[in-house]
């Protein structure tokens, strides 16, 4: 069992926890026997959910007295104490008892507690929050999504290198293609920081990624690039806009196809294509934001996802460690 990926799991964070988290672990284990789960939370609750459903060789429960609440500010979460499931799961990675940590809990608290416990990778000034987005050709890595509102060109170049390393870890056979999110594709467009970053990335001759210039918001899903870089303010606005648009489209589609007899007949006739469309936009497939720049990877599962989404974020954990993400970042930086 020594070759298993050791995942520290905060079982108490997010809606419907710990049941959702444990159901996600059980589902993931049914698909993949390469993970060991170090589960932090209330042992009596967790035992009732997991006992006899997974071989005990594949998990360990660490009983915790306290938990970070969704209503806590990051400062309140840090002050709540070192006996919370979130703090102890992150500390497990710090002590090298686990390879990676995942939580569906309070995002701000997770970022602050991670920074308090884990060191930065040398030569990186700021960590970034990255996520996976669907595009026409597969999947893109997008960062930063809100960890850093203000960034200089050095930060954006670091994000580009970290994003390329993350993409390569998840897709070893593909070439990372980087673009800067901007208000236009012309070289003279954008603020001074974006233009300075453009010039510097153009001068980097790297075998680890290809720099493709600027990308506008309406081209994010085209798939011509697969690593999209922005400051945290711009990236977060783009993320929320994309999520809202996807929800609007799927919601309106349900209304049209279920509103009258013609719509219902149409949906029956196009059942396979409609299902394929729904699966393509299913946010559970892209669950798992990654906090990168620290010397150990931290994964944030969406608090509102279900057990399938959480299971998919556990797959992301496995691929990050198998793909040697931290070593790739250190080498490329």
Condensed to tens digits (0 to 9), the pLDDT of residues 313-322 reads 999 999 999 9
SS3 81: coil
Find all residues with CB under 8 Å of 11, minimum gap 6, and list them: 17, 18, 21, 22, 39, 40, 41, 42, 46, 85
pLDDT of residue 188: 78
DSSP collapsed to 3 states, 57-73: HHEEEEECCECCCCCCC
Same-domain pairing of 304 and 329: yes
Sign (positive/negative) of CA torsion 150, 152, 153, 157? negative
Same-domain pairing of 165 and 274: yes
pLDDT of residue 332: 84
Q: How confident is the model at residue 133 (pLDDT cuts 50, 70, 90)?
A: confident
Question: What total of structural domains would you count in the chain?
Answer: 2
Distance of alpha carbon 296 from alpha carbon 222, whole angstroms:
32
Q: How confident is the model at residue 2 (pLDDT cuts 50, 70, 90)?
A: low
Same-domain pairing of 257 and 176: yes
Note the pLDDT tens digit of each residue in 57-69: 999 999 998 999 8
SS3 194: helix
Same-domain pairing of 74 and 172: no
Same-domain pairing of 225 and 251: yes
Same-domain pairing of 300 and 271: no
Same-domain pairing of 5 and 109: yes
Domain that holds residue 58: 1-124+293-333
CATH number for 99:
3.40.718.10
Same-domain pairing of 150 and 235: yes
Beta bridge partners of 298: 101, 291
Same-domain pairing of 164 and 241: yes
Distance of alpha carbon 253 from alpha carbon 251, whole angstroms:
5
Give this prediction's pTM.
0.86
Note the pLDDT tens digit of each residue in 255-302: 766 666 655 555 555 656 656 656 666 666 667 789 999 999 999 998
Same-domain pairing of 119 and 163: no
123 conformational bin, left if phi > 0, alpha if psi -120 to 50, beta if neither: left
As a 3-state breakdown, the chain gives helix, strand, coil percent values, each rounded to 5, of 45, 20, 35
Same-domain pairing of 154 and 270: yes
Same-domain pairing of 173 and 210: yes
């Amino acid at each position: 069992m020594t070759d298993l990926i050791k995942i520290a799991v905060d079982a108490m964070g997010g809606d419907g926890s710990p049941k959702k988290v444990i159901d996600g672990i059980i589902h993931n284990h049914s698909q993949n026997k390469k993970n060991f789960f170090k589960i932090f939370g209330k042992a009596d609750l967790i035992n009732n959910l997991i006992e006899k459903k997974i071989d005990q060789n594949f998990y360990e429960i660490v009983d915790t007295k306290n938990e970070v609440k969704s209503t806590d500010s990051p400062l309140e979460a840090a002050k709540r104490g070192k006996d919370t499931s979130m703090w102890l799961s992150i500390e497990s990675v710090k002590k090298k008892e686990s390879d990676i940590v995942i939580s569906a809990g309070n995002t701000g608290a997770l970022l602050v507690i991670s920074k308090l416990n884990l060191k930065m990778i040398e030569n990186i000034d700021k960590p970034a929050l990255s996520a996976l987005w669907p595009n026409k050709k597969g999947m893109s890595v997008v960062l930063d999504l809100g960890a850093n509102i203000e960034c200089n060109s050095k930060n954006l170049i670091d994000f580009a290198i970290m994003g390329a390393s993350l993409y390569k870890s998840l897709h070893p056979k593909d070439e990372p293609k980087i673009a800067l999110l901007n208000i236009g594709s012309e070289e003279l467009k954008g603020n001074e920081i974006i233009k300075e970053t453009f010039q510097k990335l153009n001068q980097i001759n790297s075998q680890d990624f290809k720099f493709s210039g600027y990308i506008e918001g309406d081209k994010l899903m085209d798939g011509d690039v697969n690593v999209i870089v922005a400051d945290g303010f711009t990236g977060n606005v783009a993320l929320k806009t994309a999520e809202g648009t996807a929800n609007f489209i799927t919601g309106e589609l349900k209304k049209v196809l279920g509103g009258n007899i013609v719509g219902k007949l149409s949906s029956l006739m196009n059942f396979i294509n409609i299902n394929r469309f729904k699966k393509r936009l299913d946010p559970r497939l892209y669950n798992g934001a990654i906090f990168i720049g620290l010397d150990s990877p931290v994964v944030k599962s969406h608090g509102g996802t279900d057990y399938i989404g959480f299971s998919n974020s556990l797959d992301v954990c496995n691929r990050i460690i198998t793909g040697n993400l931290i070593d790739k970042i250190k080498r490329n930086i």
